[in-house]
């Protein structure tokens, strides 16, 4: 049985962690499979959106502590011990979450652009109980997503929160019925893929490249990416589409 399953549907890659007997905990072998899967997606120009999810009702319970020695040896791995959390994605990444999304599993989810959760999903840094550090981006990404105060509360207490609370604090973007998170993720991925692609990618890269810069520099970065889009012809093509009657009155055709 493969610990990581890869499915490609049109231009959408679905990467599924498949270790249900340990709530999809990631051991050394699995981390390397995730690393390879994500690097392949990143370099495949035919694939536009990646969805990371877990099999059999859980996203991931984090690092497999029965393989702690090997996992600890990956602390300085350029892509992170979990396999991909230090990787910069050139294209959108969505996390489809059911059940437990905790410890390193939560850190993996934080690396996504959008997080979609089943209504009974649970989130938290439960590794606090065992002296395991956050080392796959949790201390850096969480405060930027939900704010410093809320992030410190989750990081220092190790508390478990519900999908409803995760949604209220901005950790989760969408909540679905249980078992429907992946379906919703595919729906959103298809919406993204339907848009003029160069514009979407450049706007995304503009956000990430300017996120931690002073406003004046960020605006310059935005202008440079916008000019790249305009020079590529996307605006000209979009204007022709609008003039012909498509997309009027907020319609998404």
Q: Positive or negative CA dihedral for 3, 76, 104, 138? A: negative
What is the C-alpha separation between 1 and 182, in angstroms, rounded? 21
* Cα separations in angstroms, 197 against 27, 151, 234, 235: 35, 33, 9, 12
What is the C-alpha separation between 82 and 182, in angstroms, rounded? 21
In the numeric block, the tokens 């959390």 are attached to 85
Concerning whether 127 is annotated as a catalytic residue, the answer is yes
Concerning whether 107 is annotated as a catalytic residue, the answer is yes
Query: Which candidate in 3, 39, 127, 224 is catalytic?
Result: 127
Angle subtended at Cα 22 by Cα 175 and Cα 129, rounded to the nearest 5 degrees: 80
Cβ 61 vs Cβ 22: under 8 Å: yes
Cβ 159 vs Cβ 124: under 8 Å: yes
Query: Which candidate in 40, 69, 107, 165 is catalytic?
Result: 107
Helices 215-231 and 197-210 cross at an angle (nearest 10°) of 160
**Which residues are catalytically annotated?**
107, 127
């Amino acid at each position: 049985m493969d610990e990581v399953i890869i499915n490609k549907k049109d231009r959408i890659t679905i990467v599924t962690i498949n270790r249900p007997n340990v709530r999809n905990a990631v051991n050394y072998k699995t981390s390397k499979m995730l690393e390879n899967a994500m690097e392949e997606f990143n370099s495949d120009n035919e694939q536009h959106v990646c969805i990371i999810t877990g099999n059999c009702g859980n996203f991931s319970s984090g690092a497999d502590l029965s393989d702690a020695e090997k996992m600890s040896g990956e602390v300085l791995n350029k892509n992170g011990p979990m396999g991909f959390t230090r990787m910069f994605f050139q294209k959108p990444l969505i996390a489809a979450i059911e059940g437990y999304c905790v410890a390193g599993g939560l850190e993996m989810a934080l690396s996504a652009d959008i997080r979609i959760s089943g209504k009974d999903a649970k989130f938290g840094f439960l590794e606090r109980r065992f002296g395991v550090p956050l080392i796959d981006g949790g201390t850096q990404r969480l405060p930027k997503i939900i704010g410093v105060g809320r992030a410190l509360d989750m990081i220092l207490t190790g508390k478990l929160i519900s999908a409803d609370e995760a949604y209220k604090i901005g950790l989760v973007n969408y909540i679905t019925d249980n078992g429907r998170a992946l379906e919703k993720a595919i729906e959103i991925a298809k919406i993204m893929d339907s848009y003029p692609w160069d514009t979407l990618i450049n706007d995304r890269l503009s956000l990430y490249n300017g996120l931690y810069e002073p406003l004046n520099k960020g605006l310059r970065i935005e202008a440079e990416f916008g000019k790249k889009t305009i020079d590529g012809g996307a605006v000209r093509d979009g204007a022709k589409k609008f003039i012909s009657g498509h997309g009027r009155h907020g319609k998404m055709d």
